[in-house]
Structure 1
């Protein structure tokens, strides 16, 4: 692609940054997303998009996903067949941090995770349509709630029955295209021993000692790895137990998580074998797996000057069922997402519009 076709005009630069400023300025921490959804609805309708707000079942307060598409028809039927579905999430982690900026950078909650991606996606596809490089019916926009907690928005989006060949998800990828991201397991290990006076250790069974033994074994286990996605890693997130220094602890608990690069059930089976093996008499161990997802393999597109990488974090991708092939790209870094200094570089936002345009064009041409 020549230099002329990848340039972004000054009005376009101003448009994406203006939209992003508006998005960051609106508080949208999880459960408080409705204001930014309402803003997006108005904005997209003013820019010739048909907008459907999808209620989230059993949500209190009331929340909606937003699905937008272009159509020359005025029918009430929602058009759900698209070649490329562009997606991100409207919710942010707390607390809300107000917008601020300097010459090079926009700061504030959601600036990189993931409102920069939304702004860039919207501006990119609008430019492609206006330039006649894709057809209106080639693309749709899906922005969901609840990604930062329980993925309820993407789960609910399945009932929209969107038929897409490709799913381009916007998350902070440091301007690189992901080859995939790791899966996860979240689990609790609960140990019950027998309380007693610390002066008579033979009279009790320490739940903490048993738990430490289990965690030691987990930390010194070789977990499976993948040549592309890398090593499966374990995090000991929380540990609790005991009531006092002079009491043999009857209860102990650890909350752990894995970032999985291979098959989740394989790792879960290995975890069960270690945790549930016979240990000290009189000590009972319970393993509860609270969540499990396999890693995601992403489709990729070659774009000049854009590297590829593997994301260690998790996304909404596996919660949207179907045959669509996922891609993952966006401005900003996950290393500053969720922090009090969350930011995104203005030049990256502007450049991401050009990259998304090239990705979408190539996917549209690749689609059958």
Structure 2
């Protein structure tokens, strides 16, 4: 795919717009640290040359949008873009209750936001990123090192820095009359940090409506490099079943945690193919659960694992995992594996002359 000069100039502008941000490390908890902090933005307007970008970025961070709780930021984006004369559509993905399966939770719709100028929905370029973040929520802050150029807060980089930069770049290009109706569409999705169903929903709607785009740019932290590939993924849960007993009667028990440790050790040492473009295939054991007390032999233990594929297919990895477990020789029924979200590596069809890509 050839990128014309219009899109090329947009790419450069968008990269230069990204503020200096520092995003906090991942934490598995989905409980906000300070749930009230996203209610309003108490800061005054900044006076630096890019204050419009900084203020938009700040507003987005002040809205807590942990996966499943994207309603408020979706409403903000709808209002913001509508007030700037974009045509704004919403794409229903799911309700909050469907995601959490909790009776007393507020049942608010989870919506993608699709915006464009005028009436032409099928634009030459679609730029997109996601509204949701991992937890816990961390409020906005700005460094006091004398320069104030380091911004912290959940989503400051991934992906609210991208979102603010994309919106502001489009606004600036439109103000300069460098782009017009039918040139650019904006798509902001929910649920990217979990299963990506919202992007699948957007693709489904676009296909149903016959919408086509010459190119798509995804906003993700990439050290300001243009990335033309994406690792695949395979998520799975390993469940070990044992037999509980008091620890003083070891002859009566089968320790589920011991079974799980042997499996995870083998999985952690599993060698899978990589690629020159995407690097190594990696496996991360993200969550382990099991046991009820120190002196009770656990009857059940589980672990959730994510393998990021630089080469090959999820089906090939599944066969490797099943073979590893079979070779460990556990009795039938002792080990259960549930395979979840999965997709193969993506090699983008793109050709950009005289520009460094990663």
TM-score past 0.5 threshold: yes
Q: Is the 1:192–1:251 contact (alpha carbons within 8 Å) kept by the matching residues of 2?
A: yes
CA deviation vs aligned residue, 1:300-334 (integer Å, no higher than 9, x gap): 56587x7533xxxxxxxxxxxxxxxxxxxxxxxxx
Q: Is the 1:129–1:136 contact (alpha carbons within 8 Å) kept by the matching residues of 2?
A: no
1:44 counterpart residue number: 81
SS at match of 1:226: coil
1:24–1:265 Cα change, 3 Å: same
1:66 counterpart residue number: 113
> How many angstroms does 1:142 deviate by?
0.7
Partners of 1:257 and 1:200 in 2: CA distance: 36
1:139 counterpart residue number: 184
CA-atom RMSD in angstroms: 3.3
User: Which moved further from structure 2: 9-18 or 259-268?
Assistant: 9-18
Q: Is the 2:123–2:183 contact (alpha carbons within 8 Å) kept by the matching residues of 1?
A: yes
TM-score (norm. length: structure 2): 0.72
1:282–1:292 Cα change, 3 Å: closer
Corresponding residue to 2:278 among 214, 226, 229:
229
2:338 counterpart residue number: 288
Partners of 1:251 and 1:221 in 2: CA distance: 24
Structure 1 residue 13 and structure 2 residue 60: aligned? no
1:357 counterpart residue number: none
Corresponding residue to 2:357 among 290, 308, 312:
308
Q: Is the 2:123–2:185 contact (alpha carbons within 8 Å) kept by the matching residues of 1?
A: yes
1:217–1:100 Cα change, 3 Å: closer
Partners of 1:250 and 1:159 in 2: CA distance: 43
1:269 counterpart residue number: 319
1:177–1:20 Cα change, 3 Å: same
1:278–1:129 Cα change, 3 Å: same
1:223–1:40 Cα change, 3 Å: same
Listed as ranges, the gaps of 5+ residues in structure 2 are 18-46, 97-106
SS at match of 2:223: coil
> How many angstroms does 1:69 deviate by?
0.8
TM-score (norm. length: structure 1): 0.70
1:98–1:282 Cα change, 3 Å: closer
Structure 1 residue 29 and structure 2 residue 29: aligned? no
Partners of 2:162 and 2:61 in 1: CA distance: 12
SS at match of 1:189: strand
Partners of 1:281 and 1:38 in 2: CA distance: 53
> How many angstroms does 1:233 deviate by?
1.4
Q: Is the 1:182–1:260 contact (alpha carbons within 8 Å) kept by the matching residues of 2?
A: yes
1:278–1:22 Cα change, 3 Å: closer
1:320 counterpart residue number: none
> How many angstroms does 1:247 deviate by?
5.2
1:40–1:253 Cα change, 3 Å: closer
